[in-house]
Every structure is written in C-alpha cells, then in structure tokens.
C-alpha cells in the first residue's frame, strides 16, 4: 500500500501571499512529453463541492523532454532547450502572483536520464524554480490524490490510472475503505517512449496490436494478483484516469474544436464510447 508523504514546501520567499483575499497555490508537472503549470485556489461551492479549485492561470506545452532517452539514457540538448523555454514561460506567469505555496515535480524522463539531475539544477540556476524529481510511487500517489474526489460512492472498487509520456501508473483502490490504495503498479512505458519503441508515431497504427500485447503483459500479473477481472465481472468497478490520453479521448468524443477544461473535467464515458471514439480517431488520423 502507498504510504502518504509530506509535500515539499516552497522556500519562504516564494510563499506568503493572497490574491483578492484568496490563497493561491502553484503546481508544475514536468513530464516526459508535456510541461504543465496550474495556479489555483481552493474553491468549494454548492455546484462544485468540497475539494474543487478555482483556476487563475495555466500553461501546457508539449516539450518531448524524454525524446531519445530510451536509446541513449540521456536528455538531448534539443529536448532540454525546448523544455527550458517552456519553463521560462512558466516562470514569467508565476511572477505575476504572490503564492501561498508551490510544488514543482519532474517524472520519468528526469528519473531515467543520466543527466536528469544536472538538468534540474540548471533549471534552478536559470529560473530560480526548484523542481523535485519524484519516485514512481509518489507519482502514483499524487495522481490518485488529484482525482480521488471523482470516485463514486456506489463503486466498491476502482482502477485509477495515469498514462504519462514515459510511464504509466495503475492503482487498485478500495473505495469503501476510505478510498484506500490496496496495490499499485508502475509500467515504464507511456505514450511517447512506447511509440519510440515501435518506430515512432508514424508506425503507431501498424504496431498497435504489438503495443497492446506488450502493455497487457505488464498488467496481467497485477490483474491476477488482485483478481481485478473477477471484480469487474461481479460488481461495479469504476475506471478513473487523469492524463492527456483520456482527456484527448473525451475531447474527440465531444467533437470539441478546442480543448475545454470545463466540459472535460469529471466527464464519464462508457466503454462503448471509448471504443467508438478510438475507432473514429484512428480513421480520422489516417
């Protein structure tokens, strides 16, 4: 079972402030494929409920930091340059606010690359941003905390998963026991390095069956250990995810010309919806 840990706190100079009477917080996720920033306040209301947030600012850019890491074991100069540009854009956004607290984290690309820690130190020197390279366990825990409020009371069990650019985390959750994570699994493949393994994004359609078999092979022991297949057949098991993959599927399902957070966050799709959208998406890309 995952053990809770204390969140890293920002230095005093980066805290101590409010915006229009509200305490603001910032979170940055430097992933293998994307760099994302969110500036928000806690915001409970009758329509949003407890645990909701009010977004003041955000940033998202595909940086492909982990490009080539699987082959070379190192972050490339080009990838680091792209990422540094995105982080400097985040820095400019952060300078507009007085923040109560922040947490900036980096995941699989920086975990795996031999020069990952050196790059994070370079970021600190150039931007003043202190980014923490977190473990797969902490990544899973944070993913769960970020979406656990969407677990439905009628669900006895849930599979919570986060498909990243360089890794995928799955959690087997007992919803009835205080939303407890009973087991978890980290697979060292995400959308980016999985595509790279099979020749790049241009070969994704051709290699789709091979990709599926590879990931299914990692999941099978986790399924057998926790009897997930039997649980799904015997009772209501919720599938809950937080990642660009599922939000993109939801956007395609809704036919959105542009991403709309208000329409995507908390959306429920049936398995039939997902299958139909995936088939449509493949035809659309082709």
pLDDT class of 234 with cuts at 50, 70, 90: confident
Region 85-102: what's the mean pLDDT?
96
The two three-digit tokens of residue 286, written as one number: 């082709």
The two three-digit tokens of residue 153, written as one number: 């009371």
pLDDT class of 244 with cuts at 50, 70, 90: confident
| 37-56 residue pLDDT tens | 999 998 655 454 545 788 89
pLDDT class of 7 with cuts at 50, 70, 90: very low
Strand order through the sheet with 34-42? 53-62, 34-42, 25-30, 101-106, 132-133
Helix (H, G, I), strand (E, B) or coil at 14: helix
Specify the DSSP element, H or E, that contains 160. strand 157-163
Distance between CA atoms of 80 and 90, rounded to whole angstroms? 15
Give the model's pLDDT for residue 1. 40
Half-sphere exposure of 205 (CA within 13 A, CB side): 10
Give the model's pLDDT for residue 13. 39
Specify the DSSP element, H or E, that contains 103. strand 101-106
- Mean pLDDT of all residues belonging to the chain: 86
Distance between CA atoms of 214 and 201, rounded to whole angstroms? 16
Distance between CA atoms of 156 and 175, rounded to whole angstroms? 5
pLDDT class of 201 with cuts at 50, 70, 90: confident
Region 131-153: what's the mean pLDDT?
92
* Phi, psi of 190, deg, nearest 5: -130, -170
Q: Do the beta carbons of residue 65 and residue 116 sit within 8 Å?
A: no
* Phi, psi of 184, deg, nearest 5: -150, 160
State what percent of residues in the chain have pLDDT above 90.
62
pLDDT class of 204 with cuts at 50, 70, 90: confident
Helix (H, G, I), strand (E, B) or coil at 39: strand
Q: State the distance between the two ends of the chain, measured CA to CA, in whole angstroms.
A: 42
């Amino acid at each position: 079972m995952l053990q809770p840990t204390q969140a890293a706190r920002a230095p005093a100079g980066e805290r101590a402030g409010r915006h229009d009477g509200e305490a603001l917080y910032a979170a940055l996720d430097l992933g293998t494929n994307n760099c994302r920033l969110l500036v928000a306040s806690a915001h409970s209301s009758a329509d949003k409920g407890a645990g909701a947030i009010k977004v003041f600012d955000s940033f998202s850019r595909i940086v492909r930091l982990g490009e080539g890491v699987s082959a070379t074991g190192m972050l490339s100069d080009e990838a680091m340059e792209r990422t540094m540009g995105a982080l400097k854009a985040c820095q400019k956004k952060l300078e507009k606010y007085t923040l109560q607290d922040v947490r900036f984290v980096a995941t699989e690309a920086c975990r795996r690359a031999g020069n990952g820690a050196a790059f994070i130190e370079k970021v600190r020197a150039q931007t003043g941003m202190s980014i923490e390279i977190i473990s797969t366990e902490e990544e899973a825990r944070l993913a769960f905390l970020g979406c656990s409020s969407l677990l439905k009371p009628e669900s006895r069990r849930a599979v919570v998963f986060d498909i990243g650019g360089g890794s995928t985390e799955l959690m087997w959750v007992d919803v009835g026991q205080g939303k407890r994570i009973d087991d978890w699994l980290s697979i060292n493949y995400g959308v980016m390095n999985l595509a790279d393994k099979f020749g790049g994004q241009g070969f994704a359609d051709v290699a789709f069956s091979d990709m599926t078999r590879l990931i299914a092979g990692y999941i099978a022991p986790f399924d057998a250990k926790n009897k997930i297949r039997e649980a799904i057949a015997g009772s209501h098991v919720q599938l809950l995810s937080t990642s660009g993959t599922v939000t993109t599927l939801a956007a395609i399902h809704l036919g959105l010309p542009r991403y709309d957070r208000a329409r995507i966050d908390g959306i429920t799709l049936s398995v039939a919806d997902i299958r139909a959208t995936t088939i449509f998406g493949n035809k659309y890309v082709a």
